[in-house]
Chain A
Amino acid sequence: QKEVEQNSGPLSVPEGAIASLNCTYSDRGSQSFFWYRQYSGKSPELIMFIYSNGDKEDGRFTAQLNKASQYVSLLIRDSQPSDSATYLCAVRSYGQNFVFGPGTRLSVLP
């Protein structure tokens, strides 16, 4: 069974710090990787996706992928209280089927 694992948190960081969110997956055939942000009572919102090993940066967000270690992470620089949310890692294998992790709750303290 394909699994995606995340530390449920909560992960607490002070405002302005770097938040590091981690995700591991079990299916070596996984092809693409996504990070979603979900505020309480709202729907998941796509932040970033990554396909190739290495880093991908978008503003304050950096996604890192290491397929050999089956590991993907999301770094949030200069964390703001508005970044406080649950971050969901999603992994796509063959086709369009996504497997979501349980999410990590991030709390940015002012």
Chain B
Amino acid sequence: DTAVSQTPKYLVTQMGNDKSIKCEQNLGHDTMYWYKQDSKKFLKIMFSYNNKELIINETVPNRFSPKSPDKAHLNLHINSLELGDSAVYFCASSSRTATYEQYFGPGTRLTVT
């Protein structure tokens, strides 16, 4: 059984386009996250959602917007894509009732041309 899943796995698009990445977790966790891992492999948190409320919003451009229809899903919408947005985006989830450890999805490799 897949715990945290993301779609698509690969996404190639042109500058200026708008795209979305979907994430779903079946672990029953109450918090979900989006991370960006750039070419230097640095993993940086972008957003987290707890019970459908944004609780962390790091200094990311407002072209990025997370949307959570329910606590099992956290989608990432990106408007007006730029070359610098090319990276691997990971979704993760954790539970406040456990030990907070985060479990990651397989990642979405976004390439902007």
Could you count the A-B residue pairs with CB atoms below 8 Å apart for me: how many are there?
51
Minimum C-beta distance from A7 to chain B (A)? 14
Minimum C-beta distance from B98 to chain A (A)? 10
Is the Cβ of A43 less than 8 Å from the Cβ of B106?
A: yes
Contacts A96-B50, A96-B94; is A42 near B101 (CB within 8 Å)? no
**A interface: dominant SS:** strand
Minimum C-beta distance from A105 to chain B (A)? 9
Is the Cβ of B107 less than 8 Å from the Cβ of A96?
A: no
Q: Which residues of A contact B56 (CB under 8 A)?
A: 95, 97
* Complex: chain A residue closest to B90, CB-CB: A43
Is the Cβ of B106 less than 8 Å from the Cβ of A32?
A: no
Of residues 20 through 60 on chain A, the ones whose CB sits less than 8 Å from some CB of chain B are 32, 34, 38, 42-46, 49
Query: Which 6 A-B residue pairings sit nearest by Cβ, starting from the closest?
Result: A43-B104, A100-B43, A44-B104, A43-B107, A43-B106, A46-B101
